Amino acid sequence: MSNIVLLGPPGAGKGTQAERLAEELGRLHLSTGDLFREEITRDSPLGRQVRGYLDRGELVPDRLVVAMVRERLTGDLDQEFIFDGFPRTLEQAVRLDKMAEIDAVIHIAVSETEVVRRLSARRVCQGCGRTYNVLLAPPQEEGCCDVCGGKLYRRSDDAPEVIVHRYAVYQEESRPVIEFYRERGLLAEVDGDRPVDTVFQAIKAAVNRVEMI
């Protein structure tokens, strides 16, 4: 089984790239952020437990994240995954290593200025979850989803002061994760400050390069 991990700060475009890569390579896209937001929307016990962390831009405790991922993986044992937003800490990386075989880890690097610029312009559809960027890819009608007509909202953790905090949390927590994979020869770095299509091509090339080693 070959699984791929996409690492990168919030706003690196991991979600968009993971979705495209999953489609192209025929794998499942597993975003822990999306799974948490679904739990919050359903107001499930897990959703109620994690809501505060997401609102503050803090990491959900490892045991909750790992338990959720494990449950997801055991439901699809013969599938290959693109992990998006997981692992975010060294502990999560060590636990993932025991649950699944990782073939390639792509780190999409983006500067803080670019992250703030992108995320403060991000809007999400309340109905179908589709994301827009009011600067780069706005909807046809302001505040309204092109696909389902749902109302667009700004994620509570996309407020500028929370974005800066999330970026700092990412830098601190993810450095050991990046080193963990670098030491194993699984890591490839991609410059994420470029347009979406350019970054996607670079990611595909990097996956091929690492998988061939």
* 95 binding ligand AMP? (CB under 6 A): no
155: annotated active-site residue? yes
* 88 binding ligand AMP? (CB under 6 A): yes
48: annotated active-site residue? no
3-state secondary structure the chain: CCEEEEECCCCCCHHHHHHHHHHHHCCEEEEHHHHHHHHHHHCCHHHHHHHHHHHHCCCCCHHHHHHHHHHHHHCCCCCCEEEECCCCCHHHHHHHHHHCCEEEEEEEECCHHHHHHHHCCEEEECCCCCEEECCCECCCCCCECCCCCCEEECCHHHCHHHHHHHHHHHHHHHHHHHHHHHHCCCEEEEECCCCHHHHHHHHHHHHHHHHHC
88: annotated active-site residue? yes
Binding residues for ligand AMP, rule CB under 6 A, total 17
Least spacing, CB of residue 212 vs ligand AMP, in Å = 28
Taking residues 149 to 168 in sequence order and writing x for each that binds ligand AMP by CB under 6 A, - otherwise, the string is --------x--------x--
Least spacing, CB of residue 60 vs ligand AMP, in Å = 4
* 32 binding ligand AMP? (CB under 6 A): yes
* 57 binding ligand AMP? (CB under 6 A): yes
- Residues of this chain that interact with ligand AMP (CB under 6 A) are 10, 32-33, 36, 53-54, 57-60, 65, 85-86, 88, 92, 157, 166
Active site residues: 14, 88, 122, 155, 166
